[in-house]
Amino acid sequence: MLNMMWTLYEAFFQVGLFAFGGGLAALPLIREQVVVIHGWLDMATFTDLVTIAEMTPGPIALNASTFVGTRVGGLPGAVIATLGCITPSLIIVLILARIYQQWKDKPAFQGVLSGLRPAAVALIASAGLSIAILAFFGPGNAASLQNLDPVAAGCFVVALFVLRKWKTSPILVMISTGVVWAGINYLIK
Amino acid sequence: MKEHKPSLMMLFLSVLKISAFTFGGGYVIVPLMRKRFAEELHWVTDEDMLNMIAIAQSAPGPIAVNSSIMLGYRLFSVKGALVSALGTSLPPLIVLTVVSMFYEAFKSNQVVAALMEGMRAGVTAVIADVVWTMAGNIFKKKKPMPIALMIAAFLAVWWLKVNIVLVLLACGLIGFLAGVLRQERKAQ
């Protein structure tokens, strides 16, 4: 049991250490560890895991860690896998946070940050566009007018308007959109 | 919005709430952290928050966890980093433990599926809103380098599918060189 927990910790430590670019970049690494190396899940369950990790709130990599951890070792497994996944972050990012605190006002470091800031916005925009295509055209469909989901597009426009105009809580907007979209689709079918 | 002084409890509860209710992973969570801590609470400046997000994205691991460690450290040193990392990690731990126990039922439940599918439009609106604000701030400064870098980085990631580590390295390097050049010009 203890051995198993150590293996689980080590597997997710590697995922946390090598996943650059967040949860979606972590998924291939998780597949490698969980399906290929250790055989904890078969490929079908892994596909379900991806769906569920994306469907549930929270960071995708942590959702995936908890899901695998639970299946391998119950609640302790979930805790161990999550810890494994965030240990590299804790070490590396704490060092970076110290460096940031000390060097923040140094011109050379300011230069690096002035290059990284626009890139950070670009990455968020790119991730947003991927979700937009999924929301408007459905999974696996080409982005064409024929595939456009008018209800989703309408919900998007209203939600964006509400967010810009009244600065409504994003959480409230996201959940309301889900309810409205599901409700309209239920009524028209 | 009432102003709150920075406190560990408020930090913990804020990241906990964002992590517990935000669908779509790190790229949605992180802009919401900016909204919460820079726009609503004013605990950090907008530029400070964007710096921390940029560093968090350049490090390995979940972006949401990395950002919350950066922010927690900035506010309350190591203690803050640990509290904030815990707040971000607890909700997925609880939600997914429950979901993975009932995952057959969860996966095939049509109401759940419809809600999740519909929420994507809302998630898109939330990201569009924050990108609008964040990109707007960069455009407003009217400096050509950040604007060009933002557009180039977007095209590289979205269109050319360049590895994001390379994009971040290139942008950091260009920013560094531009900074050095500016210093030299000033010195002359």
ipTM of the complex: 0.86
- Whether residue A94 and residue B103 make contact (CB cut-off 8 A), yes or no, is no
Residues pairing with A20 in the sheet: B60
What is the rounded CA–CA span in Å between residue A57 and residue A49?
14
B85 closest CB neighbour out of A26, A90, A108: A90
Residue B2 has pLDDT above 60, yes or no: no
Closest CA relative to residue B187, chosen from A107, A65, A140: A107
- Residue ranges of the domains in chain B? 8-140, 143-188
- Whether residue B93 and residue A85 make contact (CB cut-off 8 A), yes or no, is no
B157 closest CB neighbour out of A22, A94, A123: A123
Q: What is the pLDDT of residues B50-98, one digit of tens each?
A: 999 999 998 999 999 999 999 999 999 999 999 999 999 999 999 999 8
Q: What is the pLDDT of residues A24-50, one digit of tens each?
A: 678 888 988 999 899 999 988 888 888
Report the residue of chain B nearest A89, measured CA to CA.
B61
Please compute, for residue B160, the number of CA atoms within 13 A of its CA located in the half-sphere on the CB side.
11
Amino acid at B3: E
| DSSP class of A104 | T
Report the pLDDT averaged over residues A78-107. 94
Residue A73 · residue A11 · CB < 8 Å: no
**Low-confidence winner among B1-5, B62-66, B100-104 (lowest mean pLDDT):** B1-5
Contact residues on chain B for A77, CB-CB shorter than 8 A = none
Q: Reduced to 3 states, what is the DSSP secondary structure of residue A106? A: coil
Residue B37 has pLDDT above 60, yes or no: yes
- Whether residue B118 and residue A152 make contact (CB cut-off 8 A), yes or no, is yes
